[in-house]
């Protein structure tokens, strides 16, 4: 039985649904599909044409309706109509908005930028068995020591001991241009980040994550976020970092 967990994250991985990825196409469509919060539809969908359920020979409308009724009574609840409409709306927006194409293009550009940075710094692409990059398309995992050199805010996949930072870039049309990405992530982008940081301070706001290391900001010290990483990074204190002073 083929079961696939479906979320909007699949769009970032290069397909609206996981089974539409090239590596899964030969397997066939799934028997069961789990819809998560990404589509505002928590539940399980049944595909009677899946590789296993098709063997049950549930062909008539009456049998299908009875099977769905029995399934909902035991396992899950019927999806409310407003949630179904909203979920379908997300998919309808993804197609004309070319979200999949954007995710593929921006993901490839970002990976190229990362590899170029590694080459320029002379860093090891396979440090202790830890590969440089992971994930699919624009759902990217970057080794933390590499991500730290970009001063790009990223969410840690787990605690500070984990060596990976997750990058989930916006699917904006501008980010499909490698020149735009390079301008954001190059040393020239440090001035922009410093301006944003100062504006946040002026407005009494604080970033949720450190701009430098990607770790979640602390709340038990002053300042409540990583000032040295976000504003005062210099080549003297962090040789591999971008100067923002």
Helix and strand element counts for the chain (H, E): 9, 9
pLDDT tens for 175-228 read 899 988 887 787 677 677 667 767 877 887 766 655 555 555 555 545 555 554
Starting at the edge strand found earlier in the chain, the sheet holding 155-156 runs 133-136, 139-143, 164-167, 155-156
State yes or no: pLDDT of 38 exceeds 50: yes
Percent of the chain with pLDDT over 70: 65
Cβ 12 vs Cβ 137: under 8 Å: yes
For residue 171, what pLDDT band results from cuts at 50, 70 and 90? confident
* SS3 call for 54: helix
**Can you give the pLDDT at residue 232?**
38
Angle, alpha carbons 90-92-98 (nearest 5°)? 95
Q: Lowest-pLDDT range, 50-59, 65-74, 97-106?
A: 65-74
For residue 11, what pLDDT band results from cuts at 50, 70 and 90? confident
**Can you give the pLDDT at residue 238?**
38
* Distance in angstroms (rounded) separating the CA atoms of residues 115 and 137: 15
* Chain centroid to CA 203: 29
Would strands 43-46 and 3-6 be described as parallel, antiparallel, or unpaired?
A: unpaired
**Can you give the pLDDT at residue 130?**
76
Percent of the chain with pLDDT over 90: 7
């Amino acid at each position: 039985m083929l079961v696939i967990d479906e979320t909007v994250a699949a769009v970032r991985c290069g397909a609206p649904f996981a089974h539409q990825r090239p590596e899964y196409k030969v397997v066939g469509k799934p028997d069961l599909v789990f819809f998560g919060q990404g589509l505002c539809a928590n539940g399980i969908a049944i595909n009677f044409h899946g590789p296993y359920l098709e063997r049950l020979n549930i062909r008539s409308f009456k049998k299908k309706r009875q099977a769905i009724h029995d399934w909902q009574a035991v396992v899950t609840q019927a999806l409310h109509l407003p949630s179904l409409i909203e979920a379908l709306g997300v998919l309808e927006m993804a197609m004309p908005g070319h979200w999949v194409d954007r995710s593929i293009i921006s993901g490839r550009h970002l990976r190229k930028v990362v590899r170029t940075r590694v080459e320029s710094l002379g860093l090891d692409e396979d440090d202790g068995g830890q590969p440089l990059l992971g994930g699919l398309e624009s759902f990217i995992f970057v080794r933390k020591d590499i991500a730290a050199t970009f001063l790009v805010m990223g969410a840690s996949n787990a605690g500070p001991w984990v060596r990976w930072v997750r990058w989930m870039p916006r699917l904006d049309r501008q980010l499909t241009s490698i020149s735009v990405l390079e301008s954001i992530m190059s040393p020239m982008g440090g001035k922009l980040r410093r301006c944003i940081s100062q504006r946040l301070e002026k407005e009494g706001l604080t970033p949720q994550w450190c701009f430098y290391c990607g770790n979640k900001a602390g709340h038990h010290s002053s300042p409540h976020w990583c000032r040295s990483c976000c504003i005062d990074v210099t080549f003297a204190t962090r040789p591999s970092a971008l100067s923002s002073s």
